[in-house]
Structure 1
Amino acid sequence: MKHSYTLMPIKIFILYIYRKVFTFLKKIEYRDRNIYIPLGSNVDKMSIFEGGNKIGNKTFFKGKLGYGSYIGSNSNISASVGKYCSIADDVKVISGIHPTSKFVSTSPVFYSLQKSTSIKYVTEQKFSEYRKVNDSFDIIIGNDVCISTGVRIIGGLIIGNGAIIGTNAVITRDVEPYSIVGGIPAKVINKRFTDVQIKFLEELKWWDMGEEWLINNVDLFSDIEKLISHHSKLPE
C-alpha cells in the first residue's frame, strides 16, 4: 500500500507535465490561426478551435470554440460555443447533480457507483449524476452570446443566440435568443431587441457571413435598424 501512495504524486506530476507540453505544442499549432492558449490553462486534447480565439489563464476548456470567441480566466467550461461569444472570468458549467426529490438521501453512497466517497451501498447505478446536452457537450452556447463574470450554468442547457447573462447569475433553464437574464436562479430581465428585429437576426445569421462581409459592413453594426434597412435594400 505504501508503494501505491508513493506512486500517486509521481503520476500526478507526469500528468501535469503532459498537459503543459500538450498546451505548448497546441500554441505552436494554433499560432497561424490567431489562437492564444496560455501555459496556465488546461485544454482537452479533443477540443476544436475555429480561429481568432483566446483562453484565459487557469481555465479548463473541453469542446468547440467558434470563430472570434474567447473565454476569460479561472473558468471551467465543457461546451459547444458559437461564434463571436464573449465569456468573462470565473464562468463555470456544473454538470454534476444530486437527487433533490424522491430519493431519501442526497448522498451518492445510496445511488452511485462512482467513487465520490470511499464507500458505496449499491451494486448498480440508480441515478444519473451528470446532465449533458448530448454525449459530446455539457451545454450548447449559441453565437454572439455574452456571459458575465461569476456565472454558473447547470449542465444540459442551451443558451440561445445573442443572449446576455448578468454577473453571478445561476442558469437553471434554457435561455431564449437575445434574452437578457440575471439573478439566482436567473430570470429574464428584458429582450435586447423587438420580436421583429430578433427574427431578422436569426434569419440573417450574420456570424456565418465571413470576415470580408463583416468588415465591409462593420459600420452597420452600431444600429440594428441600419442593418435591417441596408439588408432590405439588397436585391433578392
Structure 2
Amino acid sequence: MIIGGPPHTLDWVSTSPVFNENKDHLPQKFAYHKFSLDTSTKVGNDVWIGNNVLIKANVTIGDGAVLGMGSVVTKNVGPYEIWGGNPARMIRKRFDDDVIEKLLDTKWWEWDDKTIKESGHLFNDVKAFIEKKGLINENNSNKL
C-alpha cells in the first residue's frame, strides 16, 4: 500500500513545491501561500488492502472495506464497500445497509482477545454473529 503525499498547486505557474514550501531549496521565497501539508488519510478497522494499492492523501477508508489489488483510490470508501480499478470505483457493498449498521455497532475490533476467541465460531455466520452481539457487547462493556 502506498499513501500519497501532500497535493501540489495546480493553479500556479509551476507545480514544484520549491515555490511554497518552508524549506530552503531556493535562496528566497517566491510566493506566500497557506498551503496545507496535512495528509490525514484514515484507514478504518478490519480493512483488507490488496497488493500495490495507491491511496490518495486525505482519503478515508471505512471499517470492513476491501480495496482490490493495484487499485488507485482517489475518493472516500464507505464501510464494508468493495472497491477496485484505476481509478477505483465501488464494485458493491459486502452486505446490505442494515447488516452494515449492525456490524459497525458491534465494534468487535475493540473487544479483548478473550472475547474474540470465545466468539470466533460466529465470525463465519454474519446472521448468528449479529444475533449474539447484544449479549457479547453487554458482557464486554466493562472491558472496553
Question: Out of 126, 133, 154, which is 2:56 matched to?
Answer: 154
What is the TM-score normalised by the length of structure 1? 0.52
Aligned runs of 1:120-199 on 2, under 5 Å?
122-126=29-33, 128=35, 130-133=37-40, 139-199=41-101
Residue type at the aligned position of 1:205: K
Q: For residues 59 and 99 of structure 2, what CA distance do their matches in structure 1 show?
A: 24
Q: Which runs of 5+ in 2 are unaligned?
A: 139-144
Q: For residues 119 and 129 of structure 1, what CA distance do their matches in structure 2 show?
A: 20
Q: For residues 27 and 102 of structure 2, what CA distance do their matches in structure 1 show?
A: 54
Aligned to 1:108: 17
Aligned to 2:124: 222
Q: Report the Cα offset of residue 204 of structure 1.
A: 0.9
Q: For residues 111 and 120 of structure 1, what CA distance do their matches in structure 2 show?
A: 13
Higher relative contact order (CA 8 A, sep 6+): 2
The answer to whether the 8 Å contact 1:92/1:151 transfers is yes
Q: Which runs of 5+ in 1 are unaligned?
A: 1-90, 134-138
Question: Out of 204, 214, 230, which is 2:106 matched to?
Answer: 204
Q: Could you report, residue by residue, the CA deviation over 1:122-157 in whole angstroms, capped at 9, with x for unpaired residues?
A: 355426263422xxxxx2211111111001112222
Residues 131 and 152 of structure 1: CA distance in aligned 2, closer, same or farther (over 3 Å): farther
Q: Could you report, residue by residue, the CA deviation over 1:22-78 in whole angstroms, capped at 9, with x for unpaired residues?
A: xxxxxxxxxxxxxxxxxxxxxxxxxxxxxxxxxxxxxxxxxxxxxxxxxxxxxxxxx
What do you get for the CA RMSD once the two structures are aligned? Answer: 2.5
Aligned residue pair count: 138
The answer to whether the 8 Å contact 2:19/2:31 transfers is no
The answer to whether the 8 Å contact 1:112/1:120 transfers is no
Moved over 6 A (4+): none
The answer to whether the 8 Å contact 1:170/1:186 transfers is yes
Residues 126 and 215 of structure 1: CA distance in aligned 2, closer, same or farther (over 3 Å): same
Residue type at the aligned position of 1:128: F
The answer to whether the 8 Å contact 1:98/1:129 transfers is no
